[in-house]
A and B are shown apart, each in its own frame.
Chain A
C-alpha cells in the first residue's frame, strides 16, 4: 500500500510531509508507513530515533523561547510538539471490495492509550474501491482527511500531526465492519481467513458478539500471544482493542446512510477455516450479509449502533 502523509502547517508549526513508499510484497499490507509509523528495519529505526532526538531538542529550545518571550504562536508550537499521540501502527487491512455497498457513517471515537485519552468525531464513506475518512476536532474543525483508492492511501493532516493516526482509525473501521458470516452459521464460532488475517467471530442469533483478528502466522512480540485485534459489539458501542498497537477505542455510531451508488456484488471468502460448531459449507459462505454485518462503518448495515449484545466490558 502506498501511503502519503501531508501534514500542513499549524499555528506556526510546520510538520514535514512523509513520502510515498511503495509496497514491496503483499499489496494490502501497510508495510509502507507515514512519518509516525513504526519502522521495520534497523536503519529506519535509527533514523527515527535521531529525528526524535532532534525533535526533542528543538521542542525544549522552543519551550524556553516561549517562556522567555511569551509568544502566543510559539506556545502553540510547543503544544504540538509535546502532545502525546498514539503510535501509528501496521494494523488490520483488507480489500475494500469485501464491503457490500457504498455507505456513510458518522461516528465518535474515544481512543485510549498510554498517556492518551482522545475524542475523535469522524465520518467515513466507503465504496467498493475507495474509502474516505474525515476526522474532526471536538470543536468541529477538520483535523485530517484520509483517502484510500484501492491500495493507495493519502493522508492530509490539517492541524498538525493527529493525536490518533488516521491510518489506525481506518484499521479499526475495517476491523469492526468486515462482514461477518454469522448470519449463515449457528451460534458459536465462525472463522474466516482473508489473505494473512484470520477473523474469528463469536456468533449469537446471527450476529457477531465478539471478534478476534489474528495475523497468520501469528506474530509473537515480547512473548505476547493471542489476537492482534479484538472487537466487542456492545449494545450502544463497539470496542476495538489493538493489542499490538497498545490502544483501545470505543466507537459510537451517530448516523449512517447508504450512498447513491449501486451496491457492489458480495465477494466470496477466500478460505474458510473450521469452526467450533458445524456451520455453513466451507468455502461457500458469502460475506456481507446485512443482518450479519457489524453495524458500524463500511458494511451495508442498518442504522442501529451495534448488534444486540449482552452486557460486556464497557469502555474505560
Chain B
C-alpha cells in the first residue's frame, strides 16, 4: 500500500502520529465513531455552563486524566430502510491513546496508540494506513485542534456557535472550507457541565450520525495493568 509519508516532509510522521491518535477520538466517536469529551469537571462546570464560555469548555476538555465512555451510535442513511445501530465503549488516554470497542453488532476494536493505528475484528488484526484515506486524514487533522483546546485554530476551521443554558451547553461546528465541507455539513455537540451527552454529524447529502453517551467516567486514571490489557494486540490475521 502506498504511503504518502515517503514523499512528504520530514516532520510528517510525528504529526501523523498525533493526528492519528487524537484523530480517532472524534472520527470514531462522532459521525464516524463516538467519543466523549470531558475534562476537569470543576473548571468546566464553573465556567462553561454558566457563562457560555467556549474557552472554558475547551480548557476543561484538555485537562481530563482519562475518559471511559459508553456510547450508542445511530447512523441514518437515506439509502437504507432503517438506521444502523451500534454500541460500545471508548477509552481515551491523554494525550494520544484511544481504544474504541464496538460490542454490537459484532465485536471490533479500533486502537490508536501513538502513531500506530490498528483495527481488530473477527477477520483478524490489521494496521491502518491513514495515508490511503485523505478525507479521513483531513477530518482527523481538523479535530486535533479541538482536543488541544486550540480555540483560535478551531475557529479558523469552523464557524462556531456556542450557547449555554444553566449547566447545559451546545456547540455547533460548521466547516469553513474544503475538503472538510465536502464530508461534513456540521457537527452539533451538546452536553452538561464538562461532558458531552450527544453528538450529531450531518453530511452534505443529509445522512447523519447521532452518538449519545451513557455512563461516562471523565476522570478515570488508568493503571499500568489496565493500559497493558487495553492496548494488547489481538490475534494476528
Contacts and interface: CB of A to CB of B under 8 A. Distances in A.
B134 A139 contact: no
A142 B203 contact: yes
Nearest to A64: B7
A117 B126 contact: yes
A248 to B, nearest CB: 12
A68 to B, nearest CB: 9
A254 B4 CA distance: 32
B106 A108 contact: yes
Among A8, A66, A140, A141: residue with most chain B CB under 10 A: A140
Interface string A1-17: 00000001111110000
Nearest to A259: B81
Interface stretch (A73-81, A93-101, A182-190, A275-283): A73-81
A123 B1 contact: no
B136 A137 contact: yes
B81 A78 contact: no
B134 A140 contact: no
A159 interface: yes
Contacts of A110: 123-124, 126, 237
A22 interface: no
Contacts of A315: 123-124, 237
A119 interface: yes
B39 interface: no
Given A76-B4, A84-B1, A141-B32, A254 B134 contact: no
Nearest to B33: A140
Contacts of B4: 66, 75-76, 78-79, 82
Taking residues whose C-beta sits less than 8 angstroms from the other chain, chain B's interface range is 35 or more
Nearest to B121: A108
B108 interface: yes
Contact of B132 (A132, A142, A163, A254): A163
Contacts, number: 161
A68 B136 CA distance: 24
B105 A255 contact: yes
B123 A250 contact: yes
A141 B183 contact: yes
Nearest to A305: B122
B126 to A, nearest CB: 6
B8 A66 contact: yes
Contacts of B32: 139-141
Among B1, B32, B110, B203: residue with most chain A CB under 10 A: B1
Contacts of B141: 72
Nearest to A12: B179
B24 interface: yes
Contacts of B17: none
Contact of A139 (B24, B124, B179): B24
Interface in B99-142: 104-106, 108, 110, 119, 121-124, 126, 128, 131-139, 141
B236 to A, nearest CB: 11
Given A110-B237, A119-B121, A76 B105 contact: no
Contact of A67 (B8, B106, B108): B8
Contacts of A73: 134, 138, 179
Contact of B131 (A75, A134, A140, A257): A75
Contact of A137 (B1, B80, B133): B133
Contacts of B134: 10-13, 73, 75-77, 79-80, 159-160
Interface of B: 1-5, 7-9, 12, 24, 27-28, 31-33, 77, 79-82, 84, 104-106, 108, 110, 119, 121-124, 126, 128, 131-139, 141, 179, 182-183, 203, 207, 237
The 4 closest A-B pairs by CB, nearest first: A76-B134, A82-B2, A11-B134, A255-B105
Given A11-B179, A159-B134, 7 more contacts: A12-B179, A67-B8, A73-B138, A76-B137, A104-B82, A117-B126, A125-B80
